[in-house]
Amino acid sequence: MKLASFFKQQAVAILEPLISLPEEQCIHMLEVPPQIEMGDLAFPCYLLAKTWRRSPQAIAVELTASIQNHSASFVQATAVGAYVNLKWNREHYGAQLLSSLEEKQNTEIEIGAGQRIVIDMSSPNIAKPFGVGHLRSTVIGAALHRIYEAAGYEAIRVNHLGDWGTQFGKLITAYLRWGDPQQLKQHPIRESLRVYIQFHEEVQQAPELEDEAREWFAKLEQGDAQALELWQYFVEVSIESLQPMYQRLGVEFDYVLGESFYNDKMPAVIEQLQSKRLLVESDGAQVVRLDEHQLPPCLILKSDGTTIYPTRDLATAIYRKEVMGADQLVYVVGGEQSLHFKQVFEVLHKMGYTWAKDCIHVSFGLMKVDGKKMSTRKGKVVFLEEVLDEAVEQARQIIAEKSPNLPDKERVAEQVGIGAIIFGDLKNNRQNEIDFSLQQAVTFEGETGPYIQYTYARIQSILRKVTPNKSALDPTISNNLWSNESWALLVHLSTYTQQLERAVTQHEPSILARYIIETAKLFNQFYNKDRIIDAPVELQNQRVALTLQTGLYLKRVMTLLGIDTPAQM
């Protein structure tokens, strides 16, 4: 039973005979009152005023009277201004809802059954630092993967490493001139970044360095042994150095396939484009024109004959569809690439691939960490590792102050620090720009990861003191008194499936993040109002059962988002 729709269906059944509006419209008009004590749903009477030729207030009073006279249901109506408020009988429905929560724990939705979804996520550029954009892609991608799987999809995570392109010519040039092999082995990203930055500084005075870099990349493309060896080494050490960070974030991949993987698949794409007469010359380069879509042309071959980013994405998409068997292709990439993906998807369409409509750019906004942006070239960067360490350090300090006797403090600090960063990202609508404040994200109050974790730990501590009793779910045995607070929590928990569905169809983890913020707030209100541990026994059963379900739902959603659930904090 989906609660909101259950309430709405009942409301429509009651209202329809009285107002003769189509069912659809009636459902659409129903609102949720701002305060739970006002009722569970409200029907506004403004629209009826015209045809009924009475004030909406008078209509509300009239409708309320007819509902009270005619309906023998467990729904109570009250006229408040222009609204008819409808309140469901809590004694009658409470235990029923509580046990349906338990049933729903074991069933997932099936909207993705039989479908394979390939997720392009993380995808950092080798030998450049892992930027905040890549962090967002990693965190959002990993959450979406679990959310899709919970909806029945088979979801495949691909790390599309940026391991090819002209920057490797620069890197090789710089490394051969100024590199330190010892440093490269120990701190591959730092060392390659150092020489990369030096390249950009020195090239100001010595423009011929650009030519040297171009030559090295040309050599690389032609398979020159020294160039290939150096490139391979850069790739290997970089992948290795990314691993600990992925581990800390709890992220895994099904495939790590860099852009270079598609090198031998591009000639076929270019041939196809040629035979379909889609390629035209423009300033010596080969492009596909997209005028009819009001888009600038998509560059396919540069004037020197080398392929570029869009060409590789065409080959990649075709591979994911034809070899990996993707039904949907999702790209979790920053909004600054939205033109790129529009162009690539349109070109696929023009090539005759009708499945181009199943390619989705799941874009996200920029994020600044403590006001700092990232720019590799100029060397003003915050390293992700440092951001993670700093978050953990702050968590460690708060824990030392708040719970000095906590066992396993180190582990919990790591879980809280990392959880703070993941949640601080995911709670925002992904398209929004984020001004991320580390200090705010790590606090235990407000809409933060630690606040959710703390609420979860509080629930576990209650459950260690009292054991849930099965009879709480039996409406004939348990006492069914519901406070506004416990009822609000119960009703909110019952909407989980709908929230999960919305998160899937909108590719939007923030829907579930907001859902657990609300869950935690409602739980804490309930906990402040209703006694649990020292409540009379029949009431205690029901409240403990509600507490248990809240803990299970919190854990389930936190796990989907990638946040750990320490049992003690």
Which residue is at the shortest CB distance from ligand ARG?
162
Integer angstrom CA distances of residue 19 from 14, 401, 447: 10, 61, 42
Whole-number Å distance between alpha carbons of 142 and 129: 20
Other Cβ atoms less than 10 A from the Cβ of 339: the count is 12
120 touches ligand ARG (CB under 6 A)? yes
Considering the complex, state which of residue 88 and residue 331 has its C-beta at the smaller distance from ligand ARG. Answer: 331
| 508 counts as binding ligand ARG under rule CB under 6 A | no
Tell me the number of residues near ligand ARG by CB under 6 A: 9
With b for 16 or more beta-carbon neighbours within 10 A and e for fewer, the 312-329 pattern comes to bbbbbbbbbbeeeebebb
Q: Which is nearer to ligand ARG, 87 or 160 (CB)?
A: 160
| Among the listed residues 39, 112, 162, 566, the single contact to ligand ARG using CB under 6 A | 162
Q: Does 123 bind ligand ARG (CB under 6 A)?
A: yes
User: Could you give the 3-state DSSP secondary structure of residue 486?
Assistant: helix
Site for ligand ARG, residues 225 to 284, rule: CB under 6 A = none
Residue closer to ligand ARG by CB (options 123, 541) is: 123
333 interacts with ligand ARG by CB under 6 A: yes
Q: Which is nearer to ligand ARG, 234 or 331 (CB)?
A: 331
Rank residues 213 and 359 by Cβ distance to ligand ARG and give the closer one. Answer: 359
Which residues from 297-326 bind ligand ARG, rule CB under 6 A?
A: 313, 316
| Identity at 63, one-letter amino acid code | L
Distance in Å, CB of 342 to ligand ARG, minimum:
13
Cβ(224)–Cβ(188) below 8 Å: no
Nearer CB in complex with ligand ARG: 101/135: 135
* Closest to ligand ARG by CB, 333 or 569: 333
Least gap, CB of 195 to ligand ARG (angstroms): 19
| Closest CA relative to residue 172, chosen from 114, 127, 139, 141 | 127
Distance of CA 327 to the CA centre of its chain: 20
Give the contact letters, 142-161, x = binds to ligand ARG (CB under 6 A), - = no: ------------------x-
Does 530 sit near ligand ARG (CB under 6 A)? Answer: no
Asked if 121 and 138 count as a contact pair (C-beta separation under 8 A), the reply is yes
User: Taking CB under 6 A as the rule, which mask of x and - marks residues 400-439 in contact with ligand ARG?
Assistant: ----------------------------------------
Minimum CB separation of residue 66 from ligand ARG in Å reads: 60
Q: What is the DSSP letter of 242?
A: H
Helices (H), 361-509: 384-402, 409-426, 438-441, 449-465, 484-493, 496-505
Q: Looking at beta carbons only, is 328 or 394 nearer to ligand ARG?
A: 328
Q: Tell me how far apart the alpha carbons of residues 125 and 134 are, in angstroms, rounded to a whole number.
A: 9
Using CA atoms, how far apart are residues 186 and 119, in angstroms rounded to an integer?
32
Residue 135 Cβ vs ligand ARG, minimum distance, rounded to whole Å: 12
Q: For 194-230, b where at least 16 C-beta lie within 10 A, e where not — what string? A: bbbbbbeeebeeeeebeebbbebbbbbbeeeeebeeb
Of 117-125, 177-185, 378-386, 516-524: span binding ligand ARG (CB under 6 A):
117-125
The 10 Å CB-count burial string (b at 16+, else e) for 131-166 is bbbbbbbbbbbbbbbbbbebbbbbbbbbbbbbbbbb
Binding site for ligand ARG (CB under 6 A): 120, 123, 125, 160, 162, 313, 316, 331, 333
